[in-house]
Chain A
Amino acid sequence: MLSVRDLKAGYIHGAPVLKGLDLDLTRGDCIALMGRNGMGKTTFVKALMGVLPEIAGSIRFLDQEIVGLAPYQISNAGIAYVPQGREIFPDFTVEQNLTMGRIGKPKQQNESFDFIYEYFPILAERHKQLGGTMSGGQQQQLAIARALVGRPDLLLLDEPSEGIQPSIVQELAAILRRIVEQEEMTVIVVEQNLNLVRRLAHHVHFIENGLIKSGVAVDEINKDPAIISRYLSV
């Protein structure tokens, strides 16, 4: 469903962060991207979302070329994005935040939020509360829920565990696991937290200097956690 070829992208003309990256995903895949800081993980998800000023190469998503499309077109084509730092609307209620998530999607316009509230009961309980007054973990749930109300085919998660206490990370991983299984979601998660990666992903890809160097199944990591340090250390 997703086929990335020779993707070169970055923030400044002539200085690409991604240097010809290739990646293929089939429906239902759930991969984690790991790598040291500055290797291009966040840049990669931003490139998929179409928010980078410099981009070249090819990204085919559901038989449609999406390089050059505006972010809203990519979103409405079926890719949802949970950015690093969550970026919920602090002055909007939970419900209004969720409404923003489907505003460009005519098919979901009259759907009830109940299926989302089932995964995230805390959001149902606080549907009238302002997003900005919630805890980090709740805001993260809201950001994920907001991405899901548009019924995407591909979900991009950028550092979902950032700034969240460990016990909540476990809970979050369990919720995400359920969503991936029940909604048959395809997921790319950028993550440093091995705990979350092992609970969520099937495969881990390592990104280095703007290229995907290698991949390894999560099962192998579970057998030998030292693999990670081998890939991540210099």
Chain B
Amino acid sequence: MEMTLLIGLDAASYILTLLLVCIGLVIIFGMMNVINLAHGEFFLLGAYTVVLLQQYALPFAVILVTAFVFVALIGLIIEELVIRRIYHRFLDTILATWGISLALKQLVIILFGPGSQPTVAPFAEPIAMFGITYSSYRLFIMGMAIVITATTFLILFRTRWGLTARGVIANRQMASCLGVNTRRVDRVTFAFGSGLAGLAGAIMAPLMSVDPQMGVGFLVPAFLSILVGGIASPLGAIWGASIIGGSNSVVAAIWTPVIAQIVVFSLAIVVIRLMPDGLAGRKKR
């Protein structure tokens, strides 16, 4: 019984962590169709914000907000300098964002060195419940993932800014003809997605080894989640993260992480083959 509960909690933890990493990608990759290979580095920059600011003993909440704002600004600059020239040029996007990814990673190595950096969780006491004990910081991450996802969806689907962004993505020229400054919407949308990646990195930092390679580990499952969930639907990320994250952690707990990887990729191939539009993809009439 305890074992099942523990596996369930671990699975939920991994799913929600994945969702946390996905949510920025949902906007940049899922909605704006930019294959941003530097997304992992945005995550990385968020984590290093924690490394840097914890030296000044700032409150953790302040650090999280700073990480979001800082990485959003980085995203804004990169959008203005590079991304805006390569919308709708898929291959160039991959090449350019890969270059950005390398440059950011090297910049971090120059500034902080290649080794892993210490970060401190703001709280770490395990919590006892239902006969098991579980890390309180993991529970905090799960809560944050839910809150951030819910907030993002509220912004996208319940605010006028979200409506405008979705309108621009659905029909750029028509939105422009209706009086929407599409350049400004692009800038803000990309910066928002980048900021979310930075926030995810900052939240995850105390649990991970903060080193220049940490962004890569989540990038592949995050892209996979969005493909499985359905690229066109922001809600698909929830489905995708559940399938990818859930199967990975459950199989890893029962067998081994290697078998888990095999199962996850096979599952992804089957889903994408049978439902090319993803789980949340709409059936065209």
Contact = CB atoms under 8 A, between A and B. Distances in A.
Contacts of B176: 51, 70-72, 75
B180 interface: yes
Interface stretch (A102-110, A182-190, A191-199): A102-110
B177 A146 contact: no
A229 B109 CA distance: 75
A71 B175 CA distance: 9
Interface stretch (B146-154, B162-170, B239-247): B162-170
Nearest to A99: B163
B160 interface: yes
Interface residues of B, number: 17
Interface in B167-187: 167, 170-171, 173-182
Contacts of A147: 178
Contact of B179 (A51, A75, A90, A91): A75
Contacts of B163: 92, 96, 99-100, 103
B171 A87 contact: yes
A72 B164 contact: no
B167 A75 contact: no
A160 interface: no
B178 A101 contact: yes
Interface in A66-97: 70-72, 75-76, 81, 83, 87, 89-92, 96
B206 to A, nearest CB: 40
Contact of A103 (B170, B173, B180): B180
A75 B178 contact: yes
A49 interface: yes
Contacts of A75: 176-179
B280 to A, nearest CB: 13
Interface string B192-230: 000000000000000000000000000000000000000
A70 B181 CA distance: 9
15 contacts: A49-B177, A70-B176, A71-B173, A72-B177, A72-B178, A72-B180, A83-B174, A87-B171, A92-B167, A96-B163, A100-B167, A100-B180, A101-B179, A103-B164, A104-B179
Interface of A: 49, 51, 70-72, 75-76, 81, 83, 87, 89-92, 96, 99-105, 146-147, 150
